[in-house]
Amino acid sequence: MNDISFGKYISVLYRYTQIIINHQLKEYGLGSGQYLFLIAIAKSPGINQKELTAQMMNDKATTAKALSKLESLGYIERQKDEADRRNYKIFLSDKGEAFIPTLRAILQTLTSTLSTEMTASEIDQSKELLDKMLENAIKEVNRLK
């Protein structure tokens, strides 16, 4: 199990974490495609979709679709920005606000699960190394565009 390429590690790890998170969010009507948006909106109430897209590092279409779902489920509200009517300002609803502690607990559990039998310094190291790889990937994607 040692000649596995990064590509495969990342792929399998991603798909497995999706399965775990989908499982835990199911009872709230949510899926793996929305939870990170809730966290980001909780941190920056009134943020618009462009900024969200940048923070989440995805396509603006993905953001639009995730927010549509969150809105229809009643977790967020979109207000037209009267200063620039192209924008929406995104806020958590009361329901969304109330869900955040639960969500944070779920994510904390996921992090704990993934880092079972790892020391604190290994966990820090992991984040640093993932961060480096991510920066390299970002540079490469930007180079392609």
- Residues within the interface to DNA (CB under 7 A): 11, 15, 18-19, 22, 30-34, 48-50, 53, 58-69, 78, 84-88
Minimal distance in Å, beta carbon 15 to DNA?
4
State the minimum distance, in angstroms, from the CB of residue 44 to its own copies: 13
Q: Which range, of 66-74, 78-86, 88-96, 129-137, touches its own copies by CB under 8 A?
A: 129-137
Count other C-beta atoms under 10 Å from residue 71's C-beta: 16
Using rule CB under 8 A, residue 137 touches its own copies: yes
Whether the Cβ atoms of residue 131 and residue 105 lie closer than 8 Å to each other: no
| Residue 40 · residue 47 · CB < 8 Å | yes
Answer yes or no whether residue 4 interacts with its own copies by CB under 8 A.
yes
Say whether residue 120 binds its own copies (CB under 8 A): no
* Least gap, CB of 8 to DNA (angstroms): 10
Contact with its own copies (CB under 8 A): which of 44, 72, 102, 125?
Answer: 125
Q: What are the beta bridge partners of residue 92?
A: 76
Q: Are 74 and 93 in contact (CB under 8 A)?
A: yes
Q: List the one residue out of 36, 42, 91 whose CA is nearest residue 58.
A: 36
Are 75 and 93 contacting, i.e. CB atoms less than 8 angstroms apart? yes
CB proximity list for 114: less than 8 A, separation 6 or greater: 17
Q: Which residues bind its own copies (CB under 8 A)?
A: 1-2, 4-17, 19-21, 23, 35-36, 56-58, 107, 110-111, 113-118, 122, 125-127, 129-134, 136-141, 144
